[in-house]
Amino acid sequence: MSGFACEATASAAEARDMFDRGDHDALVLDIDLGSGPNGFDLAELILRKSPSTAVVFLTSLPDPRFAERDSKGLPKGVAYLRKSNVSNVSLVIEALDAVLRGTRVGDFRHDREPDRPLAGLTRKQVRVMRLAASGQTNSQIAQECGVSVNAIDDTIGRAFQSLRVEGTVEGNVRVAAVRRFLEVTGGRTGIPARRAETA
């Protein structure tokens, strides 16, 4: 990135090792890091070791709920950029500069935009839609959530309304809603929360 000396890693483990070896000021990372710790876990681990590290999340997820987190639970002073909103690298550089300086960070919190994709879904609806997108039936979802099938039916019905999905000739409402959910989340059913190893 322009004006910054950068190093790239292919895994969370490599990133931890890189931070242990050197003096790094910032971290730009995705939330989905494959197997192992997710981006939130890695950022928390690095911030415990180096609290002054600036963090910029660059992800396809509309907001942290899709990785079973709450926007309010993110570390203070981080930036959260949605890849669909980033048309060139200058926005990432601006966000990184803002986080490093501790100014205008709120300008780079796409997870808080009221018109972000799927913003109308509640946290419970996000969880239920994630389970539906993974292929679970309402009965299986109810069992996993510890509620009745009727409660899941109601939650899914409200999620469908929020998604403004109606039945189509090509398929039913559930298929259309799951398709929309997967389109917005980059084809993922969600990123399970994982605890970072404290090596």
| pLDDT tops 60 at residue 109 | yes
Task: Give the count of alpha carbons within 13 A of 66, CB side only.
Answer: 26
CATH topology of domain 12-112: Rossmann fold (3.40.50)
Least confident span in 14-23, 59-68, 71-80, 128-137: 14-23
Interacting residues of 28 by C-beta distance below 8 A, sequence separation 6+: 1, 56, 58, 92, 96
Look up the pTM and report it: 0.82
DSSP 8-class letter at 50: -
H or E, element range at 27: strand 26-29
Q: Which residue has the tokens 């990123």?
A: 191
- Given the candidates 2.40.50, 2.60.40, 1.10.10, 1.10.8, the CATH classification of the domain at 123-184 is 1.10.10
Q: Where are the domains of the chain?
A: 12-112, 123-184
39 three-state secondary structure: helix
Mean pLDDT in residue range 21-26: 86
Q: Please count the other Cβ atoms lying within 10 Å of the Cβ belonging to residue 67.
A: 24
Separation CA 30–CA 32 (nearest Å): 5
CB count in 10 Å sphere of residue 19? 19
33-64 exposure pattern, b = at least 16 Cβ within 10 A, e = fewer: beeebbbbbbbebbbeeeeebbbbbbbbbbbb
* Domain 123-184 in the same topology as domain 12-112: no
DSSP strands (E only) in 53-188: 54-59, 79-82
pLDDT in tens, 154-196: 999 899 888 888 765 545 888 888 888 888 887 765 555 444 4
- Quick: pLDDT tens for 31-88: 988 777 889 999 999 999 889 999 999 999 999 988 888 888 898 899 999 999 999 9
Which residue in this structure is represented by tokens 């109308």?
Answer: 120
Residues 6+ apart with CB under 8 A from 101: none
Poorest-pLDDT segment among 19-33, 51-65, 118-132? 19-33
